[in-house]
Amino acid sequence: MKRAAVGVTAAEAEALLAAIRGGGFAASRAKIILTVASGVSLAQTALDLGVHRDSVQRAVKAWKAGRLRALEDPRVPRTLDLKRMVALLRSPPPEGTEWTHKQLAAALGCSVAAIGYVLRQRQIAWK
């Protein structure tokens, strides 16, 4: 079984444990990193945590590339301005009576998928 060399400092371990307590995407990634860092193989980590092996490999690759930045959800654009999004939702749309995901994406300069994801994750209702 393939084992990845993943080192974690004491400070990083504390941050990973805090991420696990926070839940969500970061918690999943943090569990993977801590499990692999303890010497468990990639395949066994996937089995133990109930995730696909590709997810484990992506988490390890992200950890090696950016350490704690690996906990950031890649589906959420870093440039998305939530305050601006909320302000737009409170203003009249350019066409029609309600903002569409497509209109928001065009106004904010991001993908339609990112708009939908952020609205669901932040539980923002505008209709």
What is the rounded distance in angstroms from the CA atom of residue 122 to the CA atom of residue 127? 15
Give the pLDDT score at 1.
62
* Claim to verify: residue 59 and residue 86 sit in the same structural domain: no
Q: Would residue 38 count as lying in a domain?
A: yes
- 56 within domain boundaries: yes
pTM beyond cutoff 0.85 = no
**Mean pLDDT, the chain, integer:** 88
Give the per-residue pLDDT at 56. 95
- Whether 26 maps to a domain, the answer reads yes
Total domains present in the chain = 2
Say if residue 60 is in the same domain as residue 100: no
- Is 33 in the same domain as 59? yes
Domain that holds residue 63: 10-71
- Out of 14-18, 33-37, 70-74, 90-94, least confident range: 70-74
Residues 33-84: tens digit of each pLDDT: 999 999 999 999 999 999 999 999 999 999 999 999 888 877 666 667 888 8
Give 115: exposed, middle or buried? Use CB within 10 Å, 0-12, 13-18, 19+: buried
Residues 65 and 16 in one domain: yes
The Cβ of residue 118 has, within 10 Å, a number of other Cβ atoms equal to 19
Reading the block at residue 76, the tokens are 């959420």
Q: Within a domain: residue 33?
A: yes
Instruction: Based on the fold, state whether residues 52 and 101 are members of the same structural domain.
Output: no
CA-to-CA distance for 114 and 126, rounded, in angstroms?
16
